[in-house]
Amino acid sequence: MKLRLFSIAALFLLLILSACSPKSSEVLVAEFQDMPVTLNEFEDAYAKNAGGVEEAKKDSVSEYKNFLDLYVNYRMKLRDARVRNYEKDPALKNELNDYKKKVGVSFIKEKEIVEPSLQEFYNKKKEEMRVSHIMIRADKRSKEDALQIANNILDSLKKGGDFATLARRYSEDQFSKDNNGDIYYITAGQIIPAFEAAVFATKKGEVYPEAVETRYGYHIVKVTDRGPRINKVHARHILIDFKDDEGKIDSLKAKAFASKILDSLKTGSDFAEMARKYSEDKGSAPNGGDLGFFERRRMVKEFDEASFKLGVDEISDLVKTRYGYHIIQVLDIEEIPPYAEEKQKLRNIYDKVYYNDDMKEYIDSLKVEFAFTPDEAGIKAFEDGIDSVIVNQYAEAEVRDAVKDNLFFTFSGKKASADSVFLYVMEESKYKNKVIDRKVIDDAIEDYAQQVLLEEKAMILDKTNEDFARLMDDYKNGIYIFKLQEDEVWNKVEIDSTELKSFHARTKDNYVYPDRADYSAVYVKSDSVINALYAQLTPETDFDEFANEHTKRPGMREKKGYYGTKNIADDELAAKAFELAPGEYSKPFEIKNGWYIVYLHEKYPSRVKTFEEAKPEAASAYQEELSKKLEKEYIQSLKKRYEPEIYYENLEKAFIEEPVENN
């Protein structure tokens, strides 16, 4: 009992201590002057550098300490940047704004338009609907007349008219009208977006309340079934076609034979064996009737409908299609893959089907947000004065000066002139060799407006989007650090020739030529040919001319087989040549399914490079040494100025999950 009471008391004390322990946002790992560095800030920086929190958790406290030293140096540099008023530096501000526009536009497209839409698209594809429609074509009559006919049909339906009857009577979709307007099961990404939107907005058994306009005309849409979508089924089948042994159609005989097979399967016969023996689908019969996995709508409708109603291992009744009678068994059902696996496939469909409409909708919202206002007078004046100029020749057009200042639109109190619009679009391929007319003007305005409105949104995005705000802070800090390095290190690095020679003298062992060979070679594919060539060689043979005549290595004949000077550690032929004396040629040898004879012009044993030979490498190494020295001096000056205090002991708490407080 005492032990139990002690355990309860200990647990109670632990809970009190946990509740009272400071959060990582309050624990300090360092501070300098009035600048605290919290454990939470350290964890964020470390996790970003390590590739995520889970990876960061695997590292040791020693690794945390090393990183903390670097992180404190980084934070002191940022403080120094503020002291130097980098935030007011015009060049840095311009660079930051240019980056904000460029990256902000990409961020908006990806994070505010594409990614939310992809997730919505994925969620929609988890569902499927069986849809019927009545289509009234607009190419046979005016759009107004087509809409009126569609609305009249809708009125009939609202008064109790039968959809199937009206579809057979009025629909102008020749593929579905005779089937009561049924276009079978669909899911997201398979139909025109406007039609799809109506389908997803309609409950099972209901008709969408308005006529839906597409490029084909007007549609009256009914959803006849709706439910979770099966991604794929794995099925096998036995097919008995309608033909008898003489090739004549006898569907009754086919049905009777198929029924006998079905009865046999129900009493335990092996499906695969029966398929191999009796199925008249020559493609699948040898595999026991196996059709593999397939999606909805990949098979004829009757077969498809039966397959997707079966559970695993279930066998269908006889299914009649135009091919004959089928007996189907489902072997497996594949559910919708996770979003991460489907994302790229969804993206490919999204870009083709939805992106343009989503972008237009987003730009329309920006037009409202930024008070976009076209200037019809300015546009008309430009149109009247442009005089049949080709878009990509606009900049050199004689009439440009007369029309360039016409106002096209305003937004956020800013003006967009004809010149700004056409200088932007004139290099776009879609406008190449197009004469500027009203349609081209309108298209150009729309394209330019899209760009400037996205840029306008990008400039304020950090006020509303925390992810983008963090991205911009990271970039701002990056350009400040770069500027500090430039001011304190790189601009102070000066290479004095006397000091460089002294540096080379004390580091010359770092600049060494390896063993090298200057050689030529003859290459052929056959050992018999190489041996025959070797028999022709004598000490008096001009090897260059010999190689020019006989080598089969592509590109080497015109070089007379000359490979130049190569390091023997990197080149097998050079290594073989290095074994010879200058003026000697080797015996035939094989490398990688080819045969060679090499000839050594000169060998160069390893040696230390002279100052002139090593100068480029030495200068680079010397510059790096100076940079490290200056960097160290700069860090020391910051430490002297800010006197940082570092609390390594608090790193023991890094990446430990905080207990949940009980209220």
pLDDT given at position 340: 94
Q: What's the Cα-to-Cα distance from 599 to each of 43, 522, 533, 602, rounded to whole Å? A: 62, 9, 14, 9
Give the SS3 label for residue 432: coil
CA 634 to the chain's CA centroid: 41
Residue recorded with tokens 């391929």: 429
Rg of the Cα atoms in the chain: 39
pLDDT given at position 248: 86
Counts of helices then strands in the chain (DSSP H, E): 24, 20
Is 324:242 a contact under the CB 8 Å cutoff?
Answer: yes
CATH topology of domain 512-608: Chitinase A; domain 3 (3.10.50)
DSSP characters for 480-531?
HHHHHHHHHTGGG----HHHHHHHHHHHGGGSEE--EEEEEEEEES-HHHHH
The yes-or-no verdict on residue 127 having pLDDT over 70 is yes
Confidence class of residue 477 from pLDDT cuts 50, 70 and 90? very high
Q: Percent of the chain, pLDDT > 90?
A: 91
- Region 126-141: what's the mean pLDDT? 95
Is 327:265 a contact under the CB 8 Å cutoff?
Answer: yes
- Region 146-157: what's the mean pLDDT? 97
- Specify the range with the lowest mean pLDDT, choosing from 164-178, 403-417, 482-496, 647-661: 647-661
Spatial distance between the Cα atoms of 628 and 368, rounded to a whole number of angstroms: 54
Spatial distance between the Cα atoms of 260 and 387, rounded to a whole number of angstroms: 82
Is 585:593 a contact under the CB 8 Å cutoff?
Answer: no
Confidence class of residue 34 from pLDDT cuts 50, 70 and 90? confident
Nearest of 351, 476, 647 to residue 97 by alpha carbon: 476
The answer for residues whose C-beta is within 8 angstroms of residue 623's C-beta and 6 or more apart is 493, 495
Spatial distance between the Cα atoms of 338 and 459, rounded to a whole number of angstroms: 35
Residue recorded with tokens 């100068």: 615
- Region 488-506: what's the mean pLDDT? 92
Strand order in the sheet with 645-646: 35-38, 28-32, 645-646
The yes-or-no verdict on residue 11 having pLDDT over 70 is no
- Region 644-656: what's the mean pLDDT? 94
Confidence class of residue 190 from pLDDT cuts 50, 70 and 90? very high
Q: Name residue 208's beta-bridge partners.
A: none
Residue ranges matching CATH 3.10.50.40 in the chain: 127-228, 232-334, 512-608
Tokens of 144: 């107004």
Nearest of 613, 602, 537, 549 to residue 574 by alpha carbon: 602
Nearest of 241, 428, 237 to residue 329 by alpha carbon: 237
pLDDT given at position 598: 97
Tokens of 87: 């935030």
pLDDT given at position 406: 97
Is 510:558 a contact under the CB 8 Å cutoff?
Answer: no
The yes-or-no verdict on residue 474 having pLDDT over 80 is yes
Compare 297 and 11 and report the one with higher pLDDT. 297
pLDDT in tens, 440-451: 999 999 999 999
Beta carbons within 10 angstroms of residue 250's beta carbon: 14
- Region 93-99: what's the mean pLDDT? 95
φ, ψ of residue 409 to 5 degrees: the values are -165, 165
The yes-or-no verdict on residue 13 having pLDDT over 60 is no
Q: Taking the domain 232-334, which CATH number applies?
A: 3.10.50.40
Strand order in the sheet with 212-214: 182-186, 127-137, 217-228, 212-214
pLDDT in tens, 196-236: 999 999 999 999 999 999 999 999 999 999 999 999 999 99
Amino acid 596 reads: Y
- Is CATH 3.10.50.40 correct for 127-228? yes
pLDDT given at position 4: 35
pLDDT given at position 17: 35
Nearest of 317, 318, 311 to residue 332 by alpha carbon: 311
Spatial distance between the Cα atoms of 72 and 28, rounded to a whole number of angstroms: 12
Q: At what angle do helices 543-550 and 527-536 cross, to 10 degrees?
A: 150
pLDDT given at position 75: 96
Classify residue 406 as exposed, middle or buried by CB count within 10 Å of its CB (0-12, 13-18, 19+). Answer: buried
pLDDT in tens, 376-393: 999 999 999 998 899 999
The yes-or-no verdict on residue 16 having pLDDT over 50 is no
pLDDT given at position 21: 45
Amino acid 110 reads: E
Give the mean pLDDT of the chain: 93
Confidence class of residue 659 from pLDDT cuts 50, 70 and 90? low
CA 63 to the chain's CA centroid: 33
Q: What is the dihedral of CA 602, 606, 612, 613, to 10 degrees?
A: 70
Confidence class of residue 19 from pLDDT cuts 50, 70 and 90? very low
Q: Name residue 239's beta-bridge partners.
A: 326
pLDDT in tens, 256-271: 999 999 999 999 999 9
Q: What is the 8-class DSSP label of residue 286?
A: G
The yes-or-no verdict on residue 33 having pLDDT over 90 is no
pLDDT in tens, 63-85: 999 999 999 999 999 999 999 99
pLDDT given at position 6: 33
Is 325:237 a contact under the CB 8 Å cutoff?
Answer: no
Spatial distance between the Cα atoms of 108 and 481, rounded to a whole number of angstroms: 27
Spatial distance between the Cα atoms of 153 and 135, rounded to a whole number of angstroms: 11
Spatial distance between the Cα atoms of 406 and 389, rounded to a whole number of angstroms: 16
Confidence class of residue 324 from pLDDT cuts 50, 70 and 90? very high
pLDDT given at position 18: 37
Spatial distance between the Cα atoms of 595 and 525, rounded to a whole number of angstroms: 6
Is 645:31 a contact under the CB 8 Å cutoff?
Answer: yes
Nearest of 443, 442, 456, 464 to residue 369 by alpha carbon: 456
Q: What's the Cα-to-Cα distance from 406 to each of 377, 383, 414, 459, rounded to whole Å? A: 9, 10, 14, 26
DSSP characters for 17-45?
HHHHSPPTTT-EEEEETTEEEEHHHHHHH
